Amino acid sequence: MTSRSTIALRFILVATAAVAPFVAAPPSAAQTVRPVVVEYQGKKVHGKFELANDQLLPVNVILEAKSFDVTADGDPVFRPLDPSIRVKLSEMSFRIPAQQSRVIFFEATAESIPAWFTLYATFAGMPRRQGVEVQIELPHTVYMLPKQSLGRDDVQVEAAVYDSTEHRVEVVLRNISPRLGRVEGAEAIAPKDKRRHGSFPLLPRATRRVLIPWDAAEAPSRLKIQFHRFSIEDSLRAG
């Protein structure tokens, strides 16, 4: 049987803006990546990001590039980096002293765009918790985009329903184009109240289902989806 002292307890954190909501950061986590998400134009990009270690002990860091898809419910599915994407990092493994940070530079090329990938930073060497080794994985997600952005005619609202039993609004969006877009926010609106869902990507030729909790007394009647250059408004039907 594996000794408890050798089991790695891994906290995988991906910010809502990257792809979808995930496990929240443990209260004692003192490592951060900034920025979490970046967007570039073109098939070749040069970028950088910063990894910070705010705790009182040094940490070891290993970087790995991964490709991913997103399910209709917003869950990521990670896999090895696609052969069509090449990433060069200034460093692949290093040590960050206590209360210091490290800037990582990278170059990425893609055979075609849009393309996207995540640079995962695995932090190790934190104090054990009840004999369990702790590792923390933080992502820096990169989107490589063409000049032509997603347009209003590229997006279809397949469902916009208010479920009074579940106290939520369900929205289903479909991107019918080969372009990648980002929803900056989705709002369920009543005459005197509204609730908002945060930003998320809308991948090419993909469907995305979004749930907006509704705890106000008055039922919502309208939906507004905000993109960078346009917005979509629709009526909500009762479910």
Residue 1 domain-assigned? no
Residue 52 domain-assigned? yes
Residue 122 domain-assigned? yes
Residue 39 domain-assigned? yes
Q: Do 116 and 183 share a domain, yes or no?
A: no
pLDDT in the model for residue 3 = 39
Using alpha carbons, list the distances in angstroms from residue 194 to 168, 176, 197, 218, 233.
Answer: 12, 28, 10, 10, 14
**189/39 Cα distance (integer angstroms):** 30
Residue 22 lies in domain? 7-145
Using alpha carbons, list the distances in angstroms from residue 176 to 72, 154, 157.
Answer: 14, 5, 11
What would you report as the CA-atom Rg of the chain, rounded to the nearest whole angstrom? Answer: 20
Q: Do 96 and 194 share a domain, yes or no?
A: no
Residue pair 132/62 in contact (Cβ under 8 Å)? The answer is: no
**CATH code at position 226:** 2.60.40.10
Residue pair 29/136 in contact (Cβ under 8 Å)? The answer is: yes
Q: Do 40 and 136 share a domain, yes or no?
A: yes
**29/16 Cα distance (integer angstroms):** 17
Residue pair 49/119 in contact (Cβ under 8 Å)? The answer is: yes
* Domain count across the chain: 2
Token pair 């995540």 in the structure block, residue: 118
pLDDT in tens, 13-44: 433 334 433 333 444 458 899 999 999 999 99
Residue 2 domain-assigned? no
Last residue of a domain, one of 145, 165, 185: 145
- What average pLDDT does this structure show over 65-88? 96
pLDDT in tens, 140-181: 999 999 999 999 999 999 999 999 999 999 999 999 999 999
Last residue of a domain, one of 145, 173, 205: 145
pLDDT in tens, 189-235: 999 999 999 999 999 999 999 999 999 999 999 999 999 999 999 99
Residue 125 domain-assigned? yes
Q: Do 232 and 117 share a domain, yes or no?
A: no
Tokens of 7: 């089991």
Please state whether the peptide bond connecting residue 21 to the residue before it is cis, i.e. omega within 30 degrees of 0.
no
Single-letter code of the amino acid located at 74: G
- What average pLDDT does this structure show over 80-98? 97
Question: What is the rounded end-to-end Cα distance, in angstroms, of the chain?
Answer: 50
Tokens of 163: 């479920």
Last residue of a domain, one of 145, 160, 194: 145
- For 211, residues 6+ apart whose C-beta sits below 8 A from its C-beta are 168, 169, 170, 171, 197
Residue 177 domain-assigned? yes
Residue pair 219/190 in contact (Cβ under 8 Å)? The answer is: yes
Q: Do 79 and 175 share a domain, yes or no?
A: no
Q: Do 122 and 221 share a domain, yes or no?
A: no
Average pLDDT, the chain: 88
pLDDT in the model for residue 29 = 54
Q: Do 117 and 16 share a domain, yes or no?
A: yes
Whose CA is closest to 61, among 10, 117, 127, 136? Answer: 136
Q: Do 164 and 228 share a domain, yes or no?
A: yes
Q: Do 163 and 67 share a domain, yes or no?
A: no
Residue pair 154/230 in contact (Cβ under 8 Å)? The answer is: no
Q: Do 141 and 94 share a domain, yes or no?
A: yes
Q: Do 16 and 107 share a domain, yes or no?
A: yes
Q: Do 167 and 77 share a domain, yes or no?
A: no
